[in-house]
Chains A and B, each alone.
Chain A
Amino acid sequence: MTSRSDARYFTSQKKGEVAEWRDEIHDPDRDKRKNAVKKAVIAAMTVGKDVSMLFTDVVNCGQTDSVELKKLVYLYLINYAKTQPDLAILAVNTFVKDSQDPNPLIRALAVRTMGCIRVSKIIEYLCDPLHKALLDPYVRKTAAICVAKLYDAGPEMVTEHGFVDHLRELLDDSNPMVVANSVAALAEIREKSCSPDSTVGLDSKVVHKLLAALNECTEWGQVFILDTLSSYVSQGDQGAERVIERVLPRLQHANCAVVLSAVKVIVVQLEDLRDPARVQQLVRKLAPSLVTLLSAEAEIQYVALRNINLIIQKYPDILKSEVKVFFCKYNDPIFVKQEKIETILATERNIDQVLLEFKEYSKEVDVEFVKKAVQAIGRCAISIEQAAERCISVLLELIETKVNYVVQESIVVIKHIFRRYPNQYEGIIECLCDSLDTLDEPEAKSSMIWIIGEYAERIDNAEELLEAFLDTFLEETPEVQLQLLTSTVKLFLKKPATGPQILIQNVLHQATIETDNPDLRDRAFVYWRLLSSDPESAKDVVLAMKPTIRDDLTNSPQTELLQGFLRQLSTLSSIYHKLPPLFVPHDPLRTRLLYGQSGETKNTGLDGSLTNLHENQEIVSGKKANPDPLVDLMDGTNLKEEKLGNSKNADTIQLADPVTNEFRLFYPSESTLLSADKGAGLEISGVIMRGEDNLPCYSLKLTNHTSVHIDHFQFQFNKNSFMLAPCSQLQYSKVAPNESFRCLLRLSFSGSSSEKTASPWLQVAVKSSHQCGEVFYFNDRVPLESVLLPEGRLEYEKFVQLWNCATDEYVAQCQMSELLTPEAVIRAFDSLNVFACSPASFSESDNSSVYLSAKAPGPHEEQWILVKITFTSTVGYLEISSRSFIKGYADMIYNSLRRLLLGL
Chain B
Amino acid sequence: MPVPVCLSALYFMNLRGEIIMERQYRDDVTRTMAKAFQTEIINGKDRGNVPVVNLGACSFLYRRENNVYLVAVTRQNVNAMLCFTFLNEVVALFKSYFNKVSEKSLKNNFVVIYELLDEICDHGYPQITSAEVLKSYITQKSVRSKEKDGDASYAAMEKAKAVSMQVTGAVQWRAEGLKYKKNEVYLDVVENVSMTMSHTGTVLRASATGVIQMKCFLTGMPELKIGLNDKLEDVGGGQERTAGGGHGRARSKKDIELADLQFHQCVNLSKFTSEKTISFTPPDGEFELMKYRVTEGVSLPFKVMPAVKELGRTRVEYDVKIRSCFAESQQATVLRMRIPTPKHTAKATFKLSGGKAKYVAKNNELVWKLKKFQGRSEYTLHAEVELVSTLNEKKAWVQPPITLDFSVPMFTASGLRIRFLKVWERMGYQSTKWVRYLCNSGRDTKNGSYEIRCQ
B81 surroundings in chain A (CB, below 8 A): 256-257, 260-261, 300, 303-304, 307, 570
**B53: shortest Cβ distance to chain A, in Å?**
7
Q: For chain A residues 75-97, which have a beta carbon within 8 Å of chain B?
A: 75, 78
Q: Is B288 an interface residue (CB 8 A)?
A: yes
Summed over the interface, the residue pairs from A and B with CB atoms below 8 Å come to a total of: 372
**A658/B27 in contact, CB under 8 A:** yes
Known: A48-B19, A104-B161, A330-B451. A325 touches B207 (CB 8 A): yes
Chain A interface size, as a band, is 35 or more
**A331/B449 in contact, CB under 8 A:** yes
Q: Is A28 an interface residue (CB 8 A)?
A: no
Known: A46-B19, A261-B79, A650-B54. A298 touches B446 (CB 8 A): yes
Q: Is B201 an interface residue (CB 8 A)?
A: no
A190 surroundings in chain B (CB, below 8 A): 1
Known: A281-B236, A330-B401. A646 touches B262 (CB 8 A): no
Chain B 156-186, CB within 8 Å of chain A: the 1/0 string? 1100110111011110100000000000000
**B161/A136 in contact, CB under 8 A:** yes
Q: For chain B residues 254-302, which have a beta carbon within 8 Å of chain A?
A: 259-265, 268-270, 272-273, 288, 290-291, 293, 295
**B143/A67 in contact, CB under 8 A:** yes
Q: Pick the residue among B40, B108, B118, B293 that contacts A292 (CB under 8 A).
A: B293
B264 surroundings in chain A (CB, below 8 A): 254
Q: Is A176 an interface residue (CB 8 A)?
A: yes
Known: A115-B123, A330-B401. A188 touches B5 (CB 8 A): yes
Q: Is B58 an interface residue (CB 8 A)?
A: yes
**B170/A288 in contact, CB under 8 A:** no
Q: Is B137 an interface residue (CB 8 A)?
A: yes
**B259: shortest Cβ distance to chain A, in Å?**
5
Q: Pick the residue among A75, A360, A572 that contacts B80 (CB under 8 A).
A: A572
A296 surroundings in chain B (CB, below 8 A): 446
CB-CB nearest in chain A for B44:
A650
Segment at the interface with B among A221-229, A701-709, A832-840: A221-229
B3 surroundings in chain A (CB, below 8 A): 184, 187-188, 191, 227
Q: Is A829 an interface residue (CB 8 A)?
A: no
Known: A103-B157, A177-B172, A250-B269. A331 touches B108 (CB 8 A): no
B49 surroundings in chain A (CB, below 8 A): 333-335
Distance, CA A249 to CA B447, complexed state (A): 24
**A576/B160 in contact, CB under 8 A:** no
**B85/A651 in contact, CB under 8 A:** no
Q: Is B223 an interface residue (CB 8 A)?
A: no
Distance, CA A576 to CA B78, complexed state (A): 12
A48 surroundings in chain B (CB, below 8 A): 19, 31
Q: For chain B residues 13-42, which have a beta carbon within 8 Å of chain A?
A: 19-24, 27-33, 36, 40
Known: A66-B147, A105-B163, A336-B445. A220 touches B126 (CB 8 A): yes
B19 surroundings in chain A (CB, below 8 A): 46, 48
B167 surroundings in chain A (CB, below 8 A): 138, 177
Q: Is A817 an interface residue (CB 8 A)?
A: yes
Q: Pick the residue among B52, B125, B396 that contacts A401 (CB under 8 A).
A: B396
**B157/A46 in contact, CB under 8 A:** no
Distance, CA A23 to CA B129, complexed state (A): 38
Distance, CA A365 to CA B397, complexed state (A): 10
Known: A6-B109, A254-B265, A606-B1. A646 touches B50 (CB 8 A): yes
Q: Pick the residue among B30, B123, B293 that contacts A149 (CB under 8 A).
A: B123
Distance, CA A175 to CA B51, complexed state (A): 36
**B121: shortest Cβ distance to chain A, in Å?**
9
Q: For chain A residues 212-255, which have a beta carbon within 8 Å of chain B?
A: 215-216, 218-220, 223-224, 227-228, 230-231, 248-250, 252-255
Q: Is A585 an interface residue (CB 8 A)?
A: yes
A118 surroundings in chain B (CB, below 8 A): 27
Q: Is B246 an interface residue (CB 8 A)?
A: no
**A722: shortest Cβ distance to chain B, in Å?**
30
Q: Is A428 an interface residue (CB 8 A)?
A: no
Chain B 428-455, CB within 8 Å of chain A: the 1/0 string? 0000000000000000111111010100
Distance, CA A672 to CA B5, complexed state (A): 29
Q: For chain A residues 289-331, which have a beta carbon within 8 Å of chain B?
A: 289, 291-292, 295-304, 307, 322, 324-325, 327, 329-331
**B28/A658 in contact, CB under 8 A:** yes
Chain A 187-198, CB within 8 Å of chain B: the 1/0 string? 110110000000
Q: Pick the residue among B47, B87, B395 that contacts A403 (CB under 8 A).
A: B395
Q: Pick the residue among A10, A256, A324 that contacts B204 (CB under 8 A).
A: A324
| Interface size of B in residues (CB-CB distance below 8 Å) | 124
Q: Is B322 an interface residue (CB 8 A)?
A: no
CB-CB nearest in chain A for B118:
A71
Known: A331-B444, A363-B398. A259 touches B262 (CB 8 A): yes
Chain B 83-110, CB within 8 Å of chain A: the 1/0 string? 0111110000000000000001001111
A743 surroundings in chain B (CB, below 8 A): none
Distance, CA A602 to CA B156, complexed state (A): 56
**B152/A103 in contact, CB under 8 A:** yes
Segment at the interface with B among A140-148, A415-423, A551-559, A730-738: A140-148
A295 surroundings in chain B (CB, below 8 A): 207, 209, 291, 293, 446-448
**B103: shortest Cβ distance to chain A, in Å?**
9
A542 surroundings in chain B (CB, below 8 A): none
A223 surroundings in chain B (CB, below 8 A): 4, 79, 82, 126
Q: Pick the residue among A10, A72, A137 that contacts B114 (CB under 8 A).
A: A72
**A3/B109 in contact, CB under 8 A:** yes
CB-CB nearest in chain A for B264:
A254
**A82: shortest Cβ distance to chain B, in Å?**
8
A284 surroundings in chain B (CB, below 8 A): 235
Q: Pick the residue among B59, B84, B395 that contacts A300 (CB under 8 A).
A: B84
Known: A7-B108, A71-B118, A255-B85. A103 touches B53 (CB 8 A): no
**B42: shortest Cβ distance to chain A, in Å?**
15
Distance, CA A340 to CA B110, complexed state (A): 39
Distance, CA A296 to CA B51, complexed state (A): 14
**B123/A297 in contact, CB under 8 A:** no
Chain B 108-119, CB within 8 Å of chain A: the 1/0 string? 111110110010
Distance, CA A576 to CA B3, complexed state (A): 17
Distance, CA A190 to CA B84, complexed state (A): 25
**B52/A112 in contact, CB under 8 A:** no
B163 surroundings in chain A (CB, below 8 A): 105, 138
Distance, CA A291 to CA B293, complexed state (A): 9
**A117: shortest Cβ distance to chain B, in Å?**
10
Q: Is B349 an interface residue (CB 8 A)?
A: no
Chain A 25-55, CB within 8 Å of chain B: the 1/0 string? 0000010000000100110011010000000
Q: Is B382 an interface residue (CB 8 A)?
A: no
B40 surroundings in chain A (CB, below 8 A): 650
Q: For chain A residues 318-369, which have a beta carbon within 8 Å of chain B?
A: 322, 324-325, 327, 329-336, 338, 353, 357, 360, 363-365, 368
A177 surroundings in chain B (CB, below 8 A): 127-128, 167-169, 172
A104 surroundings in chain B (CB, below 8 A): 160-161, 164
Distance, CA A856 to CA B170, complexed state (A): 66
Q: Pick the residue among A330, A571, A580 that contacts B400 (CB under 8 A).
A: A330
B347 surroundings in chain A (CB, below 8 A): none
**A824: shortest Cβ distance to chain B, in Å?**
15
Chain A 836-874, CB within 8 Å of chain B: the 1/0 string? 000000000000000000000000000000000000000
Q: Is B225 an interface residue (CB 8 A)?
A: no
Distance, CA A570 to CA B21, complexed state (A): 28
5 tightest CB-CB pairs across the interface, nearest first? A138-B164, A652-B56, A288-B260, A7-B107, A653-B56
Q: List 24 A-B contacts (CB under 8 A).
A: A3-B108, A7-B110, A46-B21, A48-B19, A65-B152, A68-B115, A138-B163, A177-B127, A181-B127, A220-B82, A223-B4, A231-B1, A252-B260, A257-B82, A281-B236, A291-B295, A292-B260, A322-B295, A324-B295, A333-B49, A335-B50, A353-B204, A817-B32, A903-B57
A291-B295, A299-B87 given; name 10 further pairs at CB < 8 Å: A6-B111, A112-B122, A176-B169, A256-B85, A292-B260, A322-B295, A325-B207, A325-B295, A570-B81, A653-B56
